[in-house]
Structures are given as C-alpha cells and as structure tokens.
Structure 1
Amino acid sequence: MSVQVTLSPETIQAVIQQYFAASRSDDKAEGMVVCFAEDTVSYDPVGAPALQGHSQLREFFQGVAALFTKVELYEDFISINGNEAAVKWIGRGIGQNGQAVTFEGIDLFEFNSEGKIQSMRAYWNPAAMLAQLQS
C-alpha cells in the first residue's frame, strides 16, 4: 500500500507556473509534458476522450500549437487545496491567418507524491477558439 504524500502549496504552485511558462516557450509541447506523470490522464477539454500518457499529451499540445503562429497561456488565478489545484487561465494567440485570438478556461489538477500532474480536467471551449481563428 502506497502512502499519499501531501505536497506543499509552494511545490504545487511551482509546477503550475512551470506548466504555464512552458506554454510561452519555444518548445511548448515538451515543456508542458514534463510537468505530467508518465501515466497521467487528461480530459482536455472535459467531455473529449481521455488523453493518456506523455505521447498522447504531446500530440495534443503540438496540434493546438500548430493552429497558431504564436500562442501563450497565462495563469490568472490559482487555488490550491491539498494535492489539488484549480487554475483560471487565459490564452492569447495569433492564428496562421494573422487573426488575433483570446480564449480562457479553468483547469483542475491532481498531483501525485512526486510533484507531477497525475490528472487534469480542462474546462474550456475549443469550438469558440476555432471560430475566432476562422473569422
């Protein structure tokens, strides 16, 4: 039986900041993926099929980034409780067609004892973002 270690709020905050900073880096997908446990499960967005493990996450992050010439996510508000956190975020980007886009959402994170994201549930509307890219 494994013992669940409660992480410090500072540890969780640092991983969240690393994840969002990676979204603003040149190597977005890889930088974001390293914040997750190998056996992570992500619902991005909630209602879509689960993304399992690093390879599916990497493919998803690369696919979203490919829609833009520039895209960045910023953590707007972080609330931490135990090994879980809720993050309100905003995304800003420039589509391949030059169209400026703003979108936002809320991510719910669960962390494992090693300080990696074990699961993520992302509440946002990709269809609204795609509509902005096409206008």
Structure 2
Amino acid sequence: MPTEQEMKASLQKYLEGFNEGNSEKVISLFAEDARVEDPVGSEPLKGKASITTFFQQAIPSVKRLELAAPIRGSHGNAAAMAFNIYVEMEGKGAVIRCIDVMTFNDDGFIIDMKAYWGPEDVQS
C-alpha cells in the first residue's frame, strides 16, 4: 500500500499535469483497470483507454486547477483534495468547485477516482 506521502504526491502530480496541459502526466497516475466517475452519479469510465480519452479531451478545456485546501490523506489507501477548476464556458470564465477522492492500489496507482461536484458548484 502506498504511504500517505506518496498518495498526496500523486494528487499533486495530477494538479501539475492539468496546469501544464500534460495529459500523459495525469494518465500515468492511473492503473490499467482504473475506474473514473466524474461527476459522481454519471456512468463510470472503466479501463485506461477510456480514461485516456477522457483526460485528453478534458485537460485542454481547463485553464487551471487550484487547491481550495491542503490535500488530505487517510489511514487507508485513499486521499482527497478540494479544488477549483477554472474553465471557459460559452465565452465566459467559470469555476467548478470540486472534491476528488482517489483510491490507490498496492503499486501506488490510482484505481478509483470519484469527482464530487454538482450543478450548484459551477459558478460563472
């Protein structure tokens, strides 16, 4: 199982990948059989191929990600972060307030990602 420090470092790399426009950096954090539910309540993406397509489309549409609080660890194999996603929607700047919870496998790769945000969390 990865350490708390390793899990937090992975979430920091996730943020950096978005902010650098580097989809490969983000995708490399995920296990081959990972699952992504973004947002929670939508149909989960399963497997690296689906996740790769998702991030290759999502990352270019994001101006930047900014932490709203420090990345949080756990006593288990998960870590979470509250952050703001700055995007442009219909020609105007908008922010999506989000919390991601990532679960890691024994090799330190993200095996499950849940993104918590709803319609009221999108502000323009």
For the superposition of Structure 1 and Structure 2, which TM-score range results when normalised by the shorter chain? Answer: 0.7 to 0.9
SS for the counterpart of 1:94 is strand
Cα distance, 1:95 vs. partner?
4.4
One-letter amino acid of the counterpart of residue 108, structure 1: V
> What fraction of aligned residue pairs are identical, expressed as a percent?
28
Asked whether the equivalents of residues 86 and 94 of structure 2 are also in contact (C-alpha less than 8 Å), the reply is yes
Aligned twin of 1:16: 11
Is 1:34 matched up with 2:67? no
**Does the C-alpha gap of structure 1 residues 64 and 96 become closer, same or farther in structure 2, counting only changes over 3 Å?**
farther
User: Which one scores higher on RCO, CA 8 angstroms, separation ≥ 6?
Assistant: 2
TM-score (norm 2): 0.84
For the 8 Å contact 1:17–1:75, the answer to whether it is kept is no
Give yes or no for contact 2:31–2:110 (8 Å, CA) kept in 1. yes
Q: Which runs of 5+ in 1 are unaligned?
A: 1-5
Show structure 2 runs of 5+ residues with no match: none
RMSD: 2.2
Instruction: Provide the C-alpha distance between the structure 2 equivalents of 1:110 and 1:30, rounded to a whole number of angstroms.
Output: 19
Equivalent residue, structure 2, for 1:105:
98
Matched, 1:79 2:40: no
| Residues 110, 117 of structure 1: 8 Å contact kept | yes
Shift of the 30–125 alpha-carbon distance from structure 1 to 2, 3 Å rule, reads farther
Moved over 3 A (4+): 126-129
Distance across 2 between alignment mates of 1:124 and 1:78: 17
Q: Where does 1:49-88 land on structure 2 (aligned, <5 Å)?
A: 49-66=43-60, 68=61, 70-76=62-68, 77-81=70-74, 82-88=76-82
Query: Does the Cα contact within 8 Å between 2:18 and 2:59 map onto a contact in 1?
Result: no
> Secondary structure of the equivalent of 2:40?
coil
The separation in 1 between residues aligned to 2:67 and 2:108, in whole angstroms, is 18
Specify the alignment match of 2:85 in structure 1: 91
Aligned pair count reads 122
The structure having more radius of gyration, on CA atoms, is 1
Instruction: Provide the residue aligned with 1:116 in structure 2.
Output: 109
